[in-house]
Amino acid sequence: MTTRRNFLKKITATSAILPLVSSFNELNAYPKADRQLRVAFCGLGSYARRVADAMKDCPNCVVSGAISGTPAKLEEWSKKYNFPKTNCYSYETFDDLKNNPDIDVVYVTSTNALHHPHTLKAAKAGKHVICEKPMSVTVKEAEEMIAACKAANVKLFIGYRLHFEPFTRELIRMRTSGELGKILFVNATMGFKIGDPTQWRLEKVHAGGGAMMDVGIYAINGARYATGEDPIWVIAQEQKTDLVKFKEVDETITWQMGFPSGIVANCATTYNFNNFDRLYVGGEKDSFELSPAFGYGPLKARTNKGEVNQPVVTHQTVQMTGMADCILNNTPHPNCDGEEGLKDMKIIEAIYKSIAKNGKKVMIKY
Find the catalytic residue in 81, 107, 218, 225: 218
Residues 270-328 pLDDT 10s: 999 999 999 999 999 999 999 999 999 899 999 999 999 999 999 999 999 999 999 99
Same fold, 31-161 and 166-312+335-363: no
In whole angstroms, give the CA distance from residue 350 to residue 197: 27
Per-domain residue ranges for the chain?
31-161, 166-312+335-363
In whole angstroms, give the CA distance from residue 296 to residue 288: 19
Residue 34 has pLDDT above 80, yes or no: no
Find the catalytic residue in 73, 121, 127, 133: 133
In whole angstroms, give the CA distance from residue 275 to residue 329: 39
**Coil, helix or strand for 78?**
helix
Which of 3.40.50.20, 3.90.1150.10, 1.20.150.20, 3.30.360.10 would CATH assign to domain 166-312+335-363?
3.30.360.10
Contact in structure between 229 and 260 (CB atoms under 8 Å): yes
Instruction: Using alpha carbons only, give the angle 163, 165, 167 rounded to the nearest 5 degrees.
Output: 110
What is the pLDDT of the chain when averaged over all its residues? 93
Find the range with the poorest average confidence among 14-28, 153-167, 233-247, 323-337: 14-28
For the whole prediction, is pTM greater than 0.85?
A: yes
Instruction: Mark whether 133 is an active-site residue.
Output: yes
Residues 52-109 pLDDT 10s: 999 999 999 999 999 999 999 999 999 999 999 999 999 999 999 999 999 999 999 9
Superfamily the domain 31-161 falls into: NAD(P)-binding Rossmann-like Domain (3.40.50.720)
